[in-house]
Amino acid sequence: MSVPAGSTNARPAARRRRRRSGLPQVPWVWVLPALVLVLLLRYVATAAGGWYAFTDWNGISREAQFIGLDNFREILDNPASRGALENTIVLAVTFVVAANVIGLLLALALHRTLKTRILLRALFFAPVVMSSLAVSYIWQFIFSYTGPLNRFLDAVGLDSWQRAWTGDPTWALWTIFVVLVWQFAGLAMVMYLSGLAGIPEELDEAAAVDGASTLRRFRTITLPLLAPAFTVSVTLSLVYGLGVFDQVLALTGGGPVDASETLATQIYKQTFAFGRYGYGAALSLILTVLITAMALAQLAVLRYRERRI
């Protein structure tokens, strides 16, 4: 019986293709130990924390009494916790808008034209890799009553604007906003720079030849093609803004008079300072649900807009 041409080499060729395709196949049983460890340390622990939100556990006693929704009712009735929720949302939304607008403007300015763009990119991105606590303590000195900001205002004749910025209930939350934007606008810049690098220059040049203005080219070509970078940057900045903690603790400690409290600082204080682990777990559950819901909703809207482009 005749053998089809090339059939004798079929198996060696298949083995060679498998070798070229990447790493050798590993049995799934080898993954189980790591998978079980992740489930126990992350998801089971998170579920247990969610259960404690419905108890009055103090973190010491062996038993926790189930109290239903009492913790959540107290959160809604407590001005400090309710104010922390409002501050968290306001801070996150304003931070997302400002950081992404500034990051986009920096990316457009440093994309192709300037000769020193590599150095400027590094300078603007440098705060991102710095410790949040170190950055916050530097800005705390800047915002202090005898700090550089008030000295500058005095030097230019605006001494009536001087104030203890982090100690003023009206401005304390906005000092945190300034620090967040200063530190993380560079991260948005890098994301938009990567998106701009993927846009063919020929599209912009062709539109310019056809007589389209710079603004029109940006609105009809650049901005739509930046949609994937916009989705990633906005989602990440929203998640970070909702969970901000280091900057609040270092700059204002949540004060004055709870004016700059966020959910993260309330969780810390109620759990570790006051020993109310059940109440702190309830706040944590609210923060987790808030981050998840807002991030998924925003991601769904942005992905939908990407598909329509």
pLDDT at 239: 92
CA–CA dist 56, 75 (Å, integer): 14
Record the tokens describing residue 195, joined without a space. 């998106």
CA–CA dist 265, 249 (Å, integer): 7
Give the sign of the dihedral formed by CA 50, CA 54, CA 60, CA 61: negative
Query: Is 2 a residue whose pLDDT tops 50?
Result: no
- The count of other CB atoms within 10 Å of the CB of residue 258 is 18
116-120: average pLDDT: 90
Tens digits of residue pLDDT in 91-111: 999 999 999 999 999 999 998
Query: Is 304 a residue whose pLDDT tops 90?
Result: no
pLDDT at 54: 93
298-308: average pLDDT: 80
Would you say 88 and 288 are in contact if contact means Cβ atoms under 8 Å apart?
no
Query: Is 10 a residue whose pLDDT tops 70?
Result: no
CA–CA dist 16, 1 (Å, integer): 28
Query: Is 14 a residue whose pLDDT tops 60?
Result: no
pLDDT at 309: 63
Domains and CATH numbers, the chain: 70-308 (1.10.3720.10)
Q: DSSP class of residue 274? A: S
pLDDT at 21: 52
Would you say 174 and 95 are in contact if contact means Cβ atoms under 8 Å apart?
no
Name the percent of the chain lying above pLDDT 90.
55
Helix (H) or strand (E) holding 281: helix 277-308
CA–CA dist 119, 126 (Å, integer): 11
At residue 7 the predicted structure's pLDDT band, cuts being 50, 70 and 90, is very low
User: Which of these ranges, 21-35, 154-168, 289-303, has the smallest mean pLDDT?
Assistant: 21-35
106-123: average pLDDT: 88
190-212: average pLDDT: 85
**Burial class, 174, CB count within 10 angstroms (exposed 0-12 / middle 13-18 / buried 19+):** middle
Tens digits of residue pLDDT in 135-171: 999 999 999 999 999 999 999 999 899 999 999 999 9
pLDDT at 261: 94
Query: Is 218 a residue whose pLDDT tops 60?
Result: yes
263-280: average pLDDT: 92
Q: Identify which of 4-8, 20-24, 44-48, 128-132 has the greatest average pLDDT.
A: 128-132
Helix, strand or coil, per DSSP, at residue 163: coil
Instruction: Report the predicted TM-score, pTM, of the whole model to 2 decimal places.
Output: 0.83
CA–CA dist 299, 27 (Å, integer): 35
For the chain, the C-alpha Rg in angstroms (whole number) is 26
181-201: average pLDDT: 92
CA–CA dist 58, 177 (Å, integer): 33
Identity at 11, one-letter amino acid code: R
Query: Is 214 a residue whose pLDDT tops 60?
Result: yes
At residue 48 the predicted structure's pLDDT band, cuts being 50, 70 and 90, is confident
Q: DSSP class of residue 4? A: P
